[in-house]
Amino acid sequence: MKVTILQRSVARIDRPTVQTGMTPEHRVRPLIPSGDPKATDPFLLLMEDWFPCGVFDRHPHRGMETVSYVIDGRLDHYDNYGNKGSLLPGNVQWMTAGRGIIHNEQPGLPPSNDPEPMTVPGVVADFDLLPSPSKS
């Protein structure tokens, strides 16, 4: 089997700042912003994310791979196929959303059982890695 090595040069170095996300409490730092797939392939986006409960409702993904990495706190996840679980600091979740999935992620309660859920810092990457037949 022949192995091909693809080399790229660095096009630019960004120093993104933290921005307001979907609510005033939601903060994001777009490490690889979406919008230029030729420049960012295979990434659709790479986002550093801090969010409290209630920022995200159930939402769909289709035809892509999503990787979530929790830096601190706990992230509770469930989907429409009955999968559920919690990610703790250093945990990674790789979700393949071929023909479609509806899921949700929310910050979990802190270990002290404090009734106030925490804001979870993490990194989310969306990839376009699936072959076309897996997307329909």
Q: What is the CATH number of the domain that holds 108?
A: 2.60.120.10
pLDDT of residue 94 exceeding 80, the answer is yes
- Grade residue 115 by pLDDT with cuts at 50, 70 and 90: low
Q: Is residue 56 part of a domain?
A: yes
**Average pLDDT of the residues in 97-109:** 84
- Grade residue 80 by pLDDT with cuts at 50, 70 and 90: very high
Q: Is residue 81 part of a domain?
A: yes
Q: Is residue 23 part of a domain?
A: no
Segments forming the whole domain that contains residue 127 = 37-134
Q: Is residue 111 part of a domain?
A: yes
pLDDT, tens digit, for every residue of 30-48? 888 888 888 888 888 888 8
Rounded CA separation 73/120 (Å): 5
Q: Is residue 73 part of a domain?
A: yes
Beta partners for residue 1, in sequence order: none
What DSSP element (H or E) covers 76? strand 75-79
Q: Is residue 26 part of a domain?
A: no
Q: Is residue 42 part of a domain?
A: yes
In 3D space, the residue among 54, 50, 68 whose CA is nearest the CA of residue 126 turns out to be 68
Task: Quote the mean pLDDT of the chain.
Answer: 83
Number of domains in the chain: 1
Q: Higher model confidence: residue 105 or residue 119?
A: 105
- Grade residue 16 by pLDDT with cuts at 50, 70 and 90: very high
DSSP state of 86: E
